């Protein structure tokens, strides 16, 4: 069984020498079940420590989509947004020739 540890960055080399391993995906140190846990006692997290993830054998509960509060959608526009006039009925993200030729200004030559 895997045991997660709460190792400060300054003490990571000590934990590594004792046999702890780094889990890059979860960003925490852990010890496999075969090792003696006594040398790692100072890095054992408290039972309800939120900074250390749950063990691998106990997956975290997932929230359903219905549990999320519904918020009204807002369109956020940047300070440099320029609304171009619509020329045809194409979708805004489509780049049709008619819209491109009539909406986009011609580049200035000679600069």
What is the mean predicted confidence (pLDDT) over 23-27? 90
Q: According to the model, what pLDDT value does residue 44 have?
A: 83
Confidence of residue 17 (pLDDT cuts 50, 70, 90): very high
Q: Nearest to residue 41, comparing CAs of 14, 79, 73, 77? A: 14
pLDDT higher than threshold 90 for residue 33: no
Q: Which residues pair with 5 in a beta bridge?
A: 29
Q: Nearest to residue 39, comparing CAs of 67, 7, 61? A: 7
| CB-CB contact of 10 with 43 (8 Å) | no
What is the mean predicted confidence (pLDDT) over 3-17? 91
Q: According to the model, what pLDDT value does residue 85 have?
A: 66
Least confident of 15-24, 61-70, 85-94: 61-70
Q: Which residue has the higher pLDDT, 1 or 103?
A: 1
What is the mean predicted confidence (pLDDT) over 69-83? 65
- Angle at the Cα of 6 from the Cα atoms of 27 and 58, rounded to 5 degrees: 70
């Amino acid at each position: 069984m895997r045991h997660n540890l709460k190792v400060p960055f300054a003490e990571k080399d000590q934990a590594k020498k004792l046999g702890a391993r780094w889990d890059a995906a979860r960003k925490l140190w852990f010890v496999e079940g075969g090792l003696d846990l006594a040398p790692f006692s100072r890095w054992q997290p408290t039972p309800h420590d939120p900074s250390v993830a749950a063990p691998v054998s106990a997956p975290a509960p997932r929230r359903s989509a219905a549990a999320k509060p519904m918020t009204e959608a807002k369109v956020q526009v940047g300070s440099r947004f320029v609304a171009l006039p619509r020329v045809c009925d194409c979708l805004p993200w489509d780049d049709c020739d008619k819209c491109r030729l009539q909406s986009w200004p011609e580049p200035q030559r000679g600069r």
